[in-house]
């Protein structure tokens, strides 16, 4: 039967089916009994494809039963496997009484590899063959040419089997394959190493998933996925679950690249930005018990905070947190960033008080950090509540248009935007941020990082924060926000303890001299007032 093609309604008008021997099966129909042929194809993710054309085998005419001797040979790597092979072949002969013994003997001779443990016997009919398969008897004294050949083969000699079957019409047939013994031979491993691995949550999670998919009770972090019986199809099935459980974006070939739990967990931690080598950057020395943490802007860097760090008079040391995320991390959220950064903050300062500053995009992350950590002071610089942005502005062009206007005041028409190449868009944004001196691949990497952060911004839905916020906004605004006060977008959430300051600067200019000097004085005053209100603030 030829099944109908799913969801087919009408043929592609660009394919001339009428002039070809091909057609689409629009409805289920009988498959005519001509030589049946079918094409099987496999398409790779990269566009590589392979095709195999299959044709039904010709009908096999049953030969007349022949009464003659046949030499049966079996071999395996162990005695147990050899006995299992004998048992399986005996059972197969019982279930298939019409098998030609000549075909069976021929297949065993030319269609199977020769292993050290060997068995050979001569049989004339099916009953004789099954009887000898059920016993451990082998050829004793060689009385015939076949028995002599069988003994030579059992001693390890290589036999040219083709001389036995000249002009006899024997063919290879389907027979039971090698009876693999389902045992797992574990390498000894260092118990201390295993204990250390188990303490890592990512590795523990990967172990659980690997055991589930591979059907194993135990494994180590250095076992190779493919040596354990895994294949590419199983690996592709595992990737979505790993992504969902660990909250990381992975390519379908990730397990192929990192086939051990040790390597895969290291890669995942690097992608998530939570590995031990992710550390905050010290911008200014000071009191380590009351550090001040500044959060990167949308470009992922902390260069813009350098002038602010220099002019702040607060006695605490100042650390900057840069973005560790890759351009492929489309699942990134502000909540996850904040969670990761809280861990980085606690690596520097295990106990409070915690003081956080975030400018622009960094203000959103700082706001969410304050939701997850008992923050003593929160400062936000020129950032809108993202729920007040135009809905649906999700594309790369949407981000480019908004940032270009925010950074330079330049607003493009749809026609002007359409004329720009991607390289030109990247160059214009980098020029606004004084990154045009960087090699283009690095500019492109920063732009891709901005896209990931933009996606996180658009998904973020902030909750009310009831503590004090030192809030700055600039006089220069987007044309679409000309009549909107940024601080009002946060007060709409119920954040009523916001202390607003308006600076006569642009969005990028507020972090540069002379405007940053005014910002620093106001932040210093805010930090001092917070100390007076809660001098012993701890988490």
Distance CA 433, CA 477 (A): 17
pTM across the whole model: 0.51
Q: What was the pLDDT predicted at 237?
A: 76
Q: Would you put residue 378 in left (φ > 0), alpha (ψ -120 to 50) or beta?
A: beta
Same domain? 367 vs 256: no
Any idea what the CATH number is for the domain that residue 458 is in? 3.40.50.1820
Check whether the bond before 514 is cis (ω within 30° of 0).
yes
Tokens of 292: 């001040």
Any idea what the CATH number is for the domain that residue 265 is in? 1.10.1200.10
Any idea what the CATH number is for the domain that residue 143 is in? 3.30.70.3290
Distance CA 346, CA 417 (A): 44
Same domain? 366 vs 260: no
The C-alpha angle 465, 471, 473, rounded to 5 degrees, equals: 130
Q: List C-alpha distances in Å: 452 to 101, 333, 495.
A: 68, 9, 27
- Which of 189, 437, 213, 228 minimizes the C-alpha distance to 198? 189
**CB proximity list for 478: less than 8 A, separation 6 or greater:** 402, 405, 406
Same domain? 258 vs 132: no
SS3 267: helix
Q: What was the pLDDT predicted at 273?
A: 56
Same domain? 335 vs 455: yes
| Average pLDDT per block of 10 residues along the chain, 539 residues long | 81 82 88 84 73 84 74 91 92 91 93 91 92 80 86 90 82 87 56 38 88 87 86 75 80 76 86 58 88 94 88 94 81 92 91 92 96 94 90 79 87 88 91 80 88 93 94 84 84 89 93 94 94 58
Residue 176: strand pairing partners: none
Specify the number of domains making up the chain.
3
Q: List C-alpha distances in Å: 100 to 106, 131, 172, 210.
A: 10, 17, 11, 45
Same domain? 284 vs 343: yes
Same domain? 444 vs 374: yes
Same domain? 213 vs 154: no
Distance CA 480, CA 352 (A): 40
Residue 2 counted as domain residue:
no
- Rounded (to 5) percent helix, strand, coil in the chain: 40, 15, 45
> Which residue range is the domain that position 88 belongs to?
70-165
Report DSSP state, residue 2: B
Q: What was the pLDDT predicted at 189?
A: 43
The C-alpha angle 57, 63, 68, rounded to 5 degrees, equals: 130
Same domain? 484 vs 405: yes
The C-alpha angle 343, 487, 292, rounded to 5 degrees, equals: 30
**CB proximity list for 305: less than 8 A, separation 6 or greater:** 283, 294, 318, 320, 357, 359, 511
Residue 429 counted as domain residue:
yes
Same domain? 74 vs 157: yes
Same domain? 314 vs 279: yes
Residue 181 counted as domain residue:
no
Q: Which of 211, 246, 269 is the last residue of a domain?
A: 269
Residue 59 counted as domain residue:
no
Backbone angles phi, psi at 381, to 5 degrees: -120, 110
Q: List C-alpha distances in Å: 446 to 99, 280, 325.
A: 69, 19, 11
Q: What was the pLDDT predicted at 197?
A: 36
Q: Where are the alpha helices (DSSP H) in 174-304?
A: 191-198, 201-214, 232-246, 254-257, 261-272
Residue 1 counted as domain residue:
no
SS3 406: helix
First to last CA, the chain: 71
Same domain? 347 vs 481: yes
Q: Which of 147, 165, 183 is the last residue of a domain?
A: 165
Q: Which residue in this structure is represented by tokens 């039971």?
A: 176
Q: Which of 237, 269, 301 is the last residue of a domain?
A: 269
Per DSSP, the chain holds a count of helices (H) and strands (E) of 18, 11
Pairing relationship of beta strands 355-359 and 287-295 according to DSSP bridges: parallel
Same domain? 120 vs 237: no
Residue 147 counted as domain residue:
yes
- Which of 343, 327, 271 minimizes the C-alpha distance to 453? 327
Residue 335 counted as domain residue:
yes
Residue 194 counted as domain residue:
no
């Amino acid at each position: 039967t030829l099944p109908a093609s799913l969801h087919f309604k009408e043929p592609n008008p660009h394919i001339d089916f009428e002039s070809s021997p091909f057609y689409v099966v629009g409805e289920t129909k009988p498959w005519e009994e001509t030589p049946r042929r079918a094409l099987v194809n496999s398409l790779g993710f990269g566009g590589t494809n392979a095709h195999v054309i299959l044709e039904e085998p010709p009908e096999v005419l049953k030969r007349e039963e022949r009464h003659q001797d046949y030499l049966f040979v079996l071999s395996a790597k162990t005695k147990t496997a050899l006995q299992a092979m004998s048992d399986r072949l005996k059972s197969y002969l019982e279930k298939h009484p019409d098998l030609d013994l000549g075909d069976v003997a021929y297949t065993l001779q030319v269609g199977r590899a020769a292993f050290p443990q060997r068995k050979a016997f001569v049989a004339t009919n099916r009953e004789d063959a099954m009887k000898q398969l059920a016993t451990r008897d082998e050829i004793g004294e060689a009385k015939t040419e076949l028995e002599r050949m069988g003994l030579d083969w059992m001693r390890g000699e290589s036999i040219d089997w083709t001389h036995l079957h000249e002009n006899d019409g024997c063919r290879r047939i389907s027979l039971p394959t090698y009876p693999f013994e389902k045992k797992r031979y574990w390498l000894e491993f260092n118990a201390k190493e295993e204990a250390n691995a188990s303490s890592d949550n990512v590795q523990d999670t990967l172990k659980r998933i690997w055991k589930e998919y591979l059907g194993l009770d135990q494994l180590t972090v250095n076992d190779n996925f493919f040596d354990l019986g895994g294949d590419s199809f199983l690996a592709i099935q595992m990737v979505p679950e790993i992504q969902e459980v660990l909250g990381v974006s992975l390519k379908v070939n990730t397990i192929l690249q990192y086939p051990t739990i040790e390597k895969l967990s290291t890669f995942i931690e690097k992608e998530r930005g939570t590995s031990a080598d992710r550390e905050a950057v010290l911008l200014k020395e000071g009191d380590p018990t009351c550090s001040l943490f500044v959060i990167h802007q949308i470009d992922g860097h902390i260069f813009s905070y350098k002038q602010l760090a220099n002019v702040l008079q607060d006695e605490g040391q100042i650390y900057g947190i840069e973005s560790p995320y890759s351009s492929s991390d489309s699942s990134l959220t502000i909540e996850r960033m904040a969670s990761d950064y809280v861990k980085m903050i606690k690596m520097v300062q295990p106990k409070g008080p915690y003081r956080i500053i975030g400018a622009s995009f960094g203000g959103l992350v700082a706001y969410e950090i304050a939701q997850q950590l008992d923050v003593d002071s929160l400062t936000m610089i020129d950032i809108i509540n993202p729920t007040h942005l135009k809905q649906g502005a999700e594309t790369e062009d949407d981000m480019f248009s908004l940032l270009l206007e925010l950074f330079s005041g330049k607003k493009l028409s749809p026609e002007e935007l359409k004329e720009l190449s991607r390289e030109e868009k990247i160059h214009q944004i980098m020029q606004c941020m004084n990154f045009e001196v960087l090699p283009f691949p690095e500019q492109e990497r920063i732009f891709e990082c901005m896209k990931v952060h933009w996606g996180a911004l658009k998904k973020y839905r902030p909750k009310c924060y009831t503590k004090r916020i030192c809030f700055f906004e600039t006089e220069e605004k987007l044309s679409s926000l000309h009549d909107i006060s940024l601080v009002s977008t946060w007060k709409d959430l119920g954040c009523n303890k916001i202390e607003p300051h308006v600076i006569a600067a642009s969005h990028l200019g507020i972090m540069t001299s002379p405007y940053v000097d005014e910002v620093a004085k106001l932040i210093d005053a805010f930090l001092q007032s917070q100390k007076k209100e809660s001098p012993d603030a701890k988490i």
